[in-house]
Copies of this chain bind each other. A is one copy, B any other.
Amino acid sequence: MHFHHHGYVSEDPRIHAAAGSGIDRPTELPETMDVLIVGTGPAGMITAAQLAQFPDVTTRIVERRGGRLELGQADGIQARSVETFQAFGFAERIIQEAYRITETSFWRPDPDNSSHIVRTARTPDDPHGISEFPHLIVNQARVLDYFAESMALAPTRMAPDYGWEFVALEETGQGEYPVQVTLRRTVGEDAGSERVVKTKYVVGSDGARSQVRQAIGCKLTGDKANHAWGVMDVLAETDFPDIRMKCAIQSGSGGSILLIPREGGHLFRMYVDLGVVPEDDNGAVRQTTIDQIIAKANDIIAPYSLDVKEVAWHSVYEVGHRLTERFDDVVESERGQRTPRVFITGDACHTHSAKAGQGMNVSMQDGFNLAWKLGHVISGRANPQLLDTYSQERQVIAQNLIDFDKQWSTLMAKKPEEFESPSELEDFYVRTAEFPAGFMTEYPESLIIGGTDHQDLATGFPVGKRFKSSPAVRVCDANPLELGHLAEADGKWRIYVFADEQEAAANSATRRFADWLTTAPQSPLAATPAGASDDAFVDVKVIYQQPYDSIDLNDVPEAFRPKVGRYRLTFLQKVFGTGMDTDIFAARGISRSGAVVVVRPDQYVAQVLPLDATDQLGEFFAPLLTH
């Protein structure tokens, strides 16, 4: 954590000093704002938490409900989401309270007695060690709480505006705030009354039945029919020995359960498969009672049984694989003519079966992708065309996800006798583990993703994939640290300069690159506003090949020792070396002739370049950090 640079702070350093729109932020919804987010689900809350880091931007997030979510909905947290939480400052705490999945058990009908189930396999959850972060299960409500805390501590002191429902929007195209939104009060004395507010941008994070989606003329297409599950979060006594393990259970009768142990040591969730919902169902499946769900569960797990003591939450969750063709308000014919003003994220643009536990995770990545772009454009750092990349990047990801999810759901629904091999299910699960963990996303070349011409300089940092952390030793204090974990969700671009073989003092390619950074008008650093910390927009770190304790900080170029804060103090924590059993060059396949790795604010690798590719770097940043 970086603090005290503006002077000593005595209280919790997680509380940022209020700044910009956070100074005297009105508790009441104002007349105008830069961004209006609709819905406080995971998609909306991460967007708000990220925008909360931009003091120049006024963001409000409205929610139909009168207060925080209390129960139910999603609970699966992929490693990629935990990695994201780390950037928002709450990974450790949520890990502490969550259930951690390390293995999945598979239960099938006993070949000798098909009315009984037996355990047929246990597979590791992350067999390839994909991430240093765990796979967690914790209620969606807690995830939202942590984002709420994160935005409250941010310079803008954000908090959701509960009790406001989105009704309609109109793009007037006029003035500074060209989108007009009608909201309806849902609680309190004035419930039912309407208000019109004006905003620069709208983000529709209003879930599967999104009104914002409708307002911009997008349609979910895909499955005709829904699949239904009886879902219950319960406290129960049982003799089923794997009750604290994630289990895929199939009974001889063809019934199936996905069992998800939950936080706290007792609670668990069961998804009892209710099958495909006929088109003429007319909501009949939704009449399934909790008693029926429990009875069905007891049937499936025989010879074991459940004695339910408390039902914390239950629901009949009906969903199909569906997707909109675009995630913003720019129709195909207008693309390139104007930049978007309205976006949709999360379940508003894609829905998928609960089985792969994707919903909350992919929705958060939508928001993480979008929010920094809005922050950069609104605060004037970047050209508005940056906003086109949101729909461009995320729509494909959603399509891929649905394809994967369909395969998975089909497999899960297969009857035992239909399997090609007895281990087909486990095999698929193990083979595709990177997908459900959230790390298969690989953005193609675009305004913000470079080519792969120099990928060989850093084979462990594939362009377009998220920057996979690796440890290095910080020179100033001899601390071995995960480099990636130092990247907070602060909206900054990051440049990791992997030095060539020469020492810090030498007149090396590294030094020439550093000098370009500090002096060239094309350097991204040149966009930093006068008076701001040198690292306000771009966080530059250098990693030398030498052992950390052989590097003299006084030899290190100034680009790697930025001046920060009120006193313009030299910040020494940007310089790294090898040692203490770490060598990031070996671990991540970095060329011994050095490399420049550029990472986006949402942690995706944007560029891998040689140390002398300054022209290319300058051009890349020209529309992204304008000055």
Contacts and interface: CB of A to CB of B under 8 A. Distances in A.
Given A96-B92, A100-B477, A573-B265, A310 B10 contact: no
Contact of A572 (B5, B243, B480, B567): B243
Interface stretch (A433-441, A522-530, A547-555): A547-555
Interface stretch (A174-182, A231-239, A250-258): A231-239
A4 interface: yes
A569 interface: yes
B477 A8 contact: no
B264 A476 contact: no
Contact of A239 (B262, B554, B571): B554
A263 B1 contact: yes
Contacts of A309: 567, 569
Interface in A83-99: 92-93, 96-97, 99
28 contacts: A1-B97, A1-B265, A2-B265, A3-B264, A4-B235, A4-B262, A4-B267, A5-B264, A8-B71, A9-B264, A10-B70, A10-B71, A12-B97, A12-B142, A13-B264, A92-B93, A92-B96, A100-B477, A102-B480, A103-B478, A122-B478, A241-B553, A241-B554, A244-B572, A245-B477, A265-B573, A266-B569, A309-B569
Contacts of A70: 10
A120 interface: no
A263 B13 contact: yes
A9 B233 CA distance: 12
Interface string A459-479: 000000000000000001111
A5 B265 contact: yes
A230 interface: no
B245 A1 contact: no
Nearest to A570: B237
A2 B477 CA distance: 37
A565 B235 CA distance: 11
A611 B2 CA distance: 52
Contacts of A310: 7-8, 567
A261 interface: yes
Contacts of A5: 235, 264-266
Nearest to A12: B145
A425 interface: no
Nearest to A139: B10
B141 A10 contact: yes
A312 interface: yes
Looking at chain A, what size class is its interface with the partner chain?
Answer: 35 or more
A141 B102 CA distance: 38
A11 interface: yes
Nearest to A572: B244
Given A8-B235, A122-B549, A309-B569, 15 more contacts: A1-B96, A4-B267, A5-B264, A5-B265, A5-B266, A8-B310, A12-B97, A92-B92, A102-B477, A102-B478, A235-B567, A244-B476, A265-B572, A266-B565, A266-B569
A121 to B, nearest CB: 11
A11 B263 CA distance: 12
B477 A11 contact: no
B8 A245 contact: no
Contacts of A567: 235, 237, 309-310
Nearest to A475: B244
A266 B97 CA distance: 32
A91 to B, nearest CB: 10
Contacts of A145: 11-12
Nearest to A567: B309
Interface in A545-567: 549, 552-554, 565, 567
Of listed A100, A122, A139, residue having the most chain B CB within 10 A: A100
Nearest to A102: B478
Of listed A7, A13, A265, residue having the most chain B CB within 10 A: A265
A96 B262 CA distance: 26
A309 B8 CA distance: 11
Given A103-B478, A309-B567, A4 B239 contact: no
A303 B139 CA distance: 58
Of listed A1, A70, A239, residue having the most chain B CB within 10 A: A1
B233 A8 contact: yes
A326 B452 CA distance: 73
Contacts of A573: 244, 265
A1 B102 contact: no
B265 A571 contact: yes
Contacts of A2: 264-265
Contact of A1 (B237, B264, B477): B264
Nearest to A241: B553
Nearest to A95: B92
Interface string A255-278: 000000111111100000000000
Contacts of A3: 97, 263-265
Contacts of A565: 266
A2 B549 CA distance: 43
Nearest to A311: B8
Contacts of A313: 8
Contact of A237 (B102, B553, B569): B569
A478 B265 contact: no
Closest 3 CB pairs of A and B: A8-B312, A4-B264, A244-B476
A290 B99 CA distance: 52
Contacts of A14: 97
A64 to B, nearest CB: 19
A9 to B, nearest CB: 8
A14 B70 CA distance: 16
Contacts of A477: 99-100, 102, 244-245, 261
A477 B239 CA distance: 15
